[in-house]
Structure 1
Amino acid sequence: MSNPTADESSQALKFKDEGNVYVKKQDFAKAVEFYTKAIELDATVSIYFSNRAFAELKLDNFQTAMTDCTSAIALDPKNIKAYHRRGLAYVGLLEFRKAKKDLELVLKGKPGDATAKNAYNICEKFIREERFRKAIGGSDDDAARHKLCRSVVLSSFDSNADLQKYDGPTLEFEQITNEKDEADGIRIKNMSQEFVSQMVNDVFLKGKTLPKKYAACIVSHAERLLRNEPTLIELENEKANQDVKISICGDTHGQFYDVLNIFKKFGKVGPKHTYLFNGDFVDRGSWSCEVALLFYCLKILYPENFYLNRGNHETDNMNKMYGFEDECKYKYSARIFDLFSQSFETLPLATIVNGHYIIMHGGLPSDSTSTIEDIRKIDRFSQPPREGLFMELLWSDPQTAPGLGPSQRGLGFSFGPDITAKYLERNNLRKVFRSHEVRMGGIFFEHDQKLATVFSAPNYCDSQNNKGAIIHVVPGKGKSGQYNNDDDDLLIEVFTAVEHPDIKPMAYSNGGMGF
């Protein structure tokens, strides 16, 4: 509305203030609602748009945040926060040059802004890496990057003080070498359930960390296992392995205490219980290192019973924005983060269970002819591109309307029930399981019950009051009729958050990308 009345302007201001209250409560979806009400009454105030952009950034809606910031700047070219937030939105959209340009303007006006400077430096790093890849054609750089976890040398950690002071459970390591007698990774010789339990109880739950040598070796060993898995995992407990339960969890986002509760409530990983965690196990929560190391230890201990799909937060740009890199540097080192980063590039992108259920973090392909064979052919060993199947598996979301629509996130698409139905029919599948979005009940079936979103981080970011959920695939032993599930081979269970130490989400972030 270009000419609001005095009453409309007054009411809009109240809605803006209410939105600010919800931001303080970290209820960003509700904040967006109130900022939207303010804008609907009075679209002449720049700060309404830049405030909504802040909340949209918190929801990973980079495209809408960028659009709002552009509107804010058009109304007030001196709105520094709008330039800052648009720069962050561009980072989320992988538009690093555009982000750098906006952040340069921020630093001209506020040269001492540490968070803007941090974001600017991150953009420069991505741009330099891109230039280098183009200059050498990518192959040499990529090859070197893919060897990070294999080039770990055990002796390089031996003089570290943290190793000398460590009094927790011990591991034995073996340096693997290639035909040239060069370091080619680490093998842990004695990973055990006892070590995992002691690591959790005597180290992590007491607020301690493993020595950097242990962390590096765990990542290196797990990376080798993940690298040797196919891009599309296939699990079976219908015709064979009928005594094995397969449990599927969604996002856990560094909520370590809730992860432990999952295993306590629903059973530990083991030969009779396979788990699949469907991406986004790091970022936001302040125990991402603990979650990642626990998951990698379980992968090493039970390679045939523990699986991980890659999420959109197992990527460098997200880790820089949402806390995992800063947490990893605080608790361990930049080198350990680099090892994690490279290991994330080896994570599989999707899983099929019993030939019926396909599981990916984000959503379905936009290509109307795409089949599961296309997933198998993806070269996943890199950061995701800006477009294409690889990106869509990590980023896309369902919508209620038929067909394809633009994504609020700006990456991937929104896809309707007809897209889901045709993909399942084309690939002879029964249902799609995905994660990627908070669902207040933990689980939400839509698209004629053909698609389920499962989210396993209850009370997400200590603010959303949502439940968590888990999907058990138990052929012939499931329970239809609950939580809108219509499949007798599935058992859905929900759970609530458990108490944890008073450490806020992203507690170790050095400002991250500045918001």
Structure 2
Amino acid sequence: MSSVSAGNAAKALEFKNSGNVCIKEQNFPQAVEFYSKAIELDDRQSIYLSNRAFAHLKLDNFQSALEDCDKSLELDPKNIKGYHRRGLAYVGLLQFNKARNDLRIVLKAKPNEPTALRALDMCEKFVRAERFKKAISGSDSEDKVNVCATLNLSSFDAYNDIKKYSGPKLEIEQLKDENGNPAGARVTNMSQEFVSSLVNDVFLKAINLPKQYAAAIISHAERLFREEPAVVELNNVRMPEQQISVCGDTHGQFYDVLNIFQKFGKVTENHTYLFNGDFVDRGSWSCEVAFLFYCLKILHPKKIFLNRGNHETDNMNKIYGFEDECKHKYSPRIFDMFSKSFESLPLATVINSKYLVMHGGLSSDSSVTLEDFKKIERFSQPPREGPFMELLWSDPQVADGLGPSQRGLGYAFGPDVTAKFLSDNNLAKIFRSHEVRMSGVEFEHNKKLVTVFSAPNYCDAQGNLGGVIHVVPGQGTIGRNGNDDEDLIIDTFEAVKHPDIKPMAYSNGGLGF
């Protein structure tokens, strides 16, 4: 920290005020830029750092937020906002004991601060749950019973919701194992008529499925996911009439998902869809999105595919709203079934032996190959390090080599890392998602990597377009939306109207601020 001229201090204050305006306009990337300029000119101001930390929190850059808060509190140990934002950064980094310490400091100064109260309550629940798990299992690696594969339909007989339900009817078969014990459910009459009625007569009228129906759908879909490999392989090279459409994050934005199908076509024998993770959390129709995808999976098991994202995990669902939404609309048991089904989702997809599609990014270990991805034991919550986690969490960076992740999980990997992996594995491009791109689709790393994000006007705030990548061998449109590949068509779309329900409307989690 050095002395600052009066001129630089005044200019820094202007940049800080411009950052505050960007926060009000929910333009968080621009806010980070303005606060950074302020800090470059005047690094003595604790508030500049804690303000930038807030913008980083809004961008899920939890590690960067944590570092800013540490520096902010070094400058001013009484900066309550610094403690508050550091506590939320620890929540995002899943370090709940550390989060509790900071949040308690906040609540000592401001006993009724609502976001701190919610975050502390959630941290207490996490810590208690972890202690309980260790107490009954003796370790952190307790295997959960597969509640999808052991589902007993008769356990839902006490519910009256099915008697009151007037929507489309499902016929469900109780599966049993060789000993006659309940072994999940199979839907026997899934049809396009059911799916259409489910959308129009149930979900668009804000009606929930009967819990027995919900459980049967999840159980059936989970079994289909479990039978797929860790890396799915799709191919339409010799079938030019068959299109494969790759979509990125949809985050519970049900009305925008419906718009994707309306705009680009439904799932059919000639139209395959791959949704590349993060279809739940944030948006307040995550249940509807998940049930729609699962019903389509049952109806067209070889024509719709779901890669796992970092939000198809328990910790993210607790923080970002899906668990609370699921419990509000259905029950804790239905959430537990969704959780188990997420553990069965594939981690990546290869299209035409040419394009690798995964949610996050590449491994930090340069020796890891596509064959290693195929060998990952995926039926669990992801670890905090290694290729499994990095496929869900890592992001590209402009510079070559590896860098620290602003999120605090995974790594940032450069164009040289991408080029080497593609060359070593005889691939042409990587498709990934995981980050908002204002244009919906963005070509990066010398056009060897493409980020596709399919939640337009993300969280009703970002103003971004949604994007879709269509794989159409020999029929692509070069030059459109940055495309340089004759086998691809890049489409974008705007957000559509939806009922006035805010993102994370059901969330009691710590990051609903």
TM-score exceeds 0.5 = yes
Deviation by residue 1:408-459 (Cα, 9 ceiling, x = unmatched): 1111111111111110111111111101111111111122211111111112
The question of whether the paired residues in 1 share the 8 Å contact of 2:122 and 2:509 is answered with: no
Cα distance 1:319–1:23, how it changes in 2: closer, same or farther (>3 A)? farther
Pairing of 1:260-409 with structure 2 (within 5 A): 260-409=258-407
Contact 1:403–1:416 (8 Å) recurs in 2: yes
Residue 117 of structure 1 and its aligned partner are, at CA, apart by: 4.1
Per the alignment, residue 156 of structure 2 pairs with 157
In the alignment, is the contact (CA less than 8 A) between 2:120 and 2:510 conserved in 1?
Answer: no
1:25-54 CA-to-partner distances (Å, cap 9, x unmatched) read 322212222222332333333232222212
Q: Quote the Cα distance in structure 2 between the aligned partners of 1:114 and 1:463.
A: 22
Are residue 25 (structure 1) and residue 32 (structure 2) matched? no
Q: Distance in 2 between matches of 1:151 and 1:72?
A: 51
Name the structure 1 match of 2:103: 103
| Structure 1 residue corresponding to 2:244, chosen from 220, 228, 246 | 246
Which one-letter code corresponds to 1:215 in the other structure? A
Q: Deviations over 1:278-310 (max 9, x none)?
A: 011111112111111111111111110010001
Matching residue of 2:83: 83
Structure 1 residue matching 2:365: 3-state secondary structure: coil
Identity of aligned residues (%): 67
Secondary structure at the aligned position of 2:357 is classed as strand
How much does 1:405 deviate?
Answer: 1.1
Question: Which stretch shifts more, 297-306 or 483-492?
Answer: 483-492
Q: Secondary structure at the match of 2:142?
A: helix
Distance of 2:159 and 2:80 partners within structure 1: 44
CA distance in 1 between partners of 2:17 and 2:328 (Å): 35
Q: 1:480 to 1:146 in 2, by over 3 A?
A: farther
Is structure 2 residue 452 aligned with structure 1 residue 451?
Answer: no
- SS of 1:141's equivalent in the other structure is coil
* Structure 1 residue aligned with 2:193: 194
SS of the residue corresponding to residue 69 of structure 2 reads helix
Distance 1:204 1:408 in 2: 37
Which amino acid is the alignment partner of residue 101 of structure 1? N
In the alignment, the residues of structure 2 paired with residue 67 and residue 122 of structure 1 have an alpha-carbon distance, to the nearest angstrom, of 23
Q: What TM-score, normalized to structure 1?
A: 0.94
Please list the CA deviations of residues 458-488 of structure 1 after superposition, one character each: whole Å capped at 9, or x if unmatched. Answer: 1212222211111111111112222222211
Secondary structure, aligned partner of 1:163: helix
| CA positional deviation for 1:146 | 4.1
Inter-CA distance 146–348: structure 2 relative to 1 (3 Å threshold)? farther
Structure 1 residues 38, 140: CA separation in 2 closer, same or farther (over 3 Å shift)?
Answer: closer
Residue 52 in 1 paired to residue 52 in 2?
yes
Structure 1 residues 29 and 140: alpha-carbon distance in aligned structure 2, compared to 1, 3 A threshold = closer
Specify the code of the residue in structure 1 equivalent to 2:206.
G
Question: Is the Cα–Cα contact under 8 Å of residues 94 and 386 in structure 1 kept in the other structure?
Answer: no
Equivalent position amino acid for 1:344 in 2:
F
Letter in 2 for 1:89: A
Distance 1:22 1:325 in 2: 31
Residue 159 of structure 1 aligns with an amino acid whose one-letter code is A
Q: Secondary structure at the match of 1:494?
A: strand
Counterpart CA distance in 2 for 1:140 and 1:464 is 39
What is the CA deviation profile of residues 180-230 of structure 1, one whole-angstrom value per residue up to 9, with x for unaligned ones?
332221111111111110111111112222222222221121111111211
In structure 1, the residue corresponding to 2:470 is in which secondary structure? Answer: strand
Structure 1's unaligned 5+ residue stretches are none
Give the residue type in structure 1 aligned to 2:260: I
Matched AA of 1:232: V
Which amino acid in 1 is paired with 2:161? Answer: D
Alpha carbons of structure 1 residues 146 and 12: separation in structure 2 relative to 1, 3 Å: farther
Residue 208 in 1 paired to residue 207 in 2?
Answer: yes
- Contact kept in structure 2, 1:320 and 1:513, CA below 8 Å: no
Q: How many residues align?
A: 512
The answer for unaligned runs of 5 or more in structure 2 is none
Provide the residue aligned with 1:38 in structure 2: 38
- Which residue is equivalent to 2:233? 234
Work out whether residues 245 and 474 of structure 1, in 8 Å CA contact, stay in contact via their aligned partners in 2.
yes
Opposite residue 271 of structure 1, the aligned amino acid is E
In structure 2, what residue type is equivalent to 1:305? K
CA distance in 2 between counterparts of 1:443 and 1:267 reads 19
Task: Say which SS state the counterpart of residue 454 (structure 2) adopts.
Answer: coil
Partner secondary structure for residue 505 of structure 2 = coil
